[in-house]
Structure 1
């Protein structure tokens, strides 16, 4: 698949203040893309903008946005879209998780994860869909998770949100195929970011899987390389995705044989 040039393309990234969001921003700028970055921390976004601007001559604008606030999404995205007119790529990266057994998950915590990981993602997507359909081109990239394919203990709520993201993504891809708008699901395993500061309060999971963790720049490179190509899914690492395939085919066997592996939290 030959990638279109990203030079001058308008790329929207949510959750861009750190982790793979920030790395996607850096690597997109290196390819000449204009960046529109959204996150709750305007201070972090401003520092990222300054850092990127020192190295690349691209347009960068930053916006404070909590994607759990659907009214805020509508207001902010409307203002930006009215200004730029075209949206070439939307990377729905904002998200968080908390690892708890189902009986310990508070309702507010459950609502919070769904509001950010699912409703927020859908709200951001709904803002760019009319533009991309009218353009008859564009790319929506949803950062999901291997947890959306292979649920594990203590991630019932988080896995449920990512299952929802994958269902939405797969449907959206079919809806937009006649409009030449690409839709990609990114399903990484654990990534070495501050995600686990919230998700893994005791540090048990990080300790157990640290040697398997992906680096943010590696994941970002895969995402940026796929931009404006008809890539259906990005599954990282490959061996972990193989586990999800085996699980889909032989779920009972996997749950018995793989019990020790999936009980890492």
Structure 2
């Protein structure tokens, strides 16, 4: 491939389904050229085709981002061929299980994908982005980042890392041309399995519930408005206040009961 001189691209990881798919389409609607990253055999080429139908260039790259050598190969290819003006670190893995019953490989994949991939991709692409007239980084955290959560121990901790990493990098780069933001989505009905798990949580699962289309639209809109800390909707702001100010002895039992019900659903 020849270098796309004079043109800039938005890179989006985890782009084949759910929030990532709708972020890809939202970027294309706003006339951003896209590079979409997903696991092999997830039909990412069809999302790229939908983006091209909206009048932009769209490439795709299939790889497993939990492997360091794959991360380095991806970022080398990007730096050699593209000007990156937007980076959205969306790829992530989660779930609700008792920690001691969880497969060790599953724990490792959460850590490698949610934490290492986010940090390494950002690190490797940052020199490229700093050469652009204006560039944006959006990291996808979660409402789970605001409170330790039983049955989501590794996931909530990994999303806390993304929140702190993003906020720190925002301060470090605030006098540069690279703007850093972090978004904290609440529950989303991304597929039938997730929808059923949300229902098992009861009222806590329904608070802040938005469609992935709406989350994608609002997230990218606020990123381009240079909002560094993104909460989506009044209900998620209410949840944030609940998790920040309600005493631990009240909120922990409530959260634990909700996620225990969800974990039992997955085991059944």
TM-score greater than 0.5 by the shorter chain: yes
- SS state of the match for residue 37, structure 2? strand
Please, which of 139, 143, 149 is the counterpart of residue 142 of structure 1? 139
Residue 3 of structure 2: aligned partner? none
**Superposed counterparts of 1:180-199, under 5 Å:** 180-194=177-191, 197=193
1:223 offset after TM fit, Å? Answer: 1.7
Question: In the superposition, relative to structure 1, how do residues 173 and 192 fare at CA in structure 2: closer, same or farther (>3 Å)?
Answer: same
1:246/1:254 contact within 8 Å kept: no
Q: How does 1:1-265 map to 2 (within 5 A)?
A: 9-54=8-53, 56-84=54-82, 86-135=83-132, 137-194=134-191, 197=193, 203-209=196-202, 211-212=206-207, 213-255=209-251, 258=254, 262-263=258-259, 265=262
| Cα gap change, 1:92 to 1:137, in 2 (>3 Å) | same
Question: Contact 1:136–1:179 (CA<8 Å) still a contact in 2?
Answer: no
Structure 1 moving runs of 4+ over 6 Å: none
Task: Report the alpha carbon displacement of residue 150 of structure 1 after superposing the two structures with TM.
Answer: 2.5
> TM-score when scaled to structure 2?
0.84
CA RMSD of aligned residues (A): 2.4
Corresponding residue for 2:4?
none
State the 1:10 CA deviation. 1.3
Q: Name the count of aligned residue pairs.
A: 252
Give the TM-score taking structure 1 as reference length: 0.85
Report which stretch shifted further, 96-105 or 235-244. Answer: 235-244
How many angstroms apart in 2 are the aligned matches of 1:38 and 1:225? 21
Offset at residue 41 of structure 1 (A): 3.1
Query: 1:180 deviation in Å?
Result: 2.8
Residues 44 and 208 from structure 1, CA distance in 2 versus in 1: closer, same or farther, beyond 3 angstroms? same
Alpha-carbon distance between aligned partners in 2 of 1:253 and 1:163, rounded to the nearest angstrom: 21
Give the secondary structure class of the aligned counterpart of 2:175: helix
- In the TM superposition, residue 187 of structure 1 has moved relative to its aligned partner by 0.4
Structure 2 unaligned spans of 5+: 1-6, 263-268
**Mapped partners of 1:171, 1:99: distance in 2:** 28
C-alpha distance 9-144 of structure 1, shift in aligned 2 (>3 A): same
Report SS of the residue matched to 1:177.
Answer: coil
Q: Alpha-carbon deviation of 1:81?
A: 2.3
Gaps of 5+ in 1: 1-7
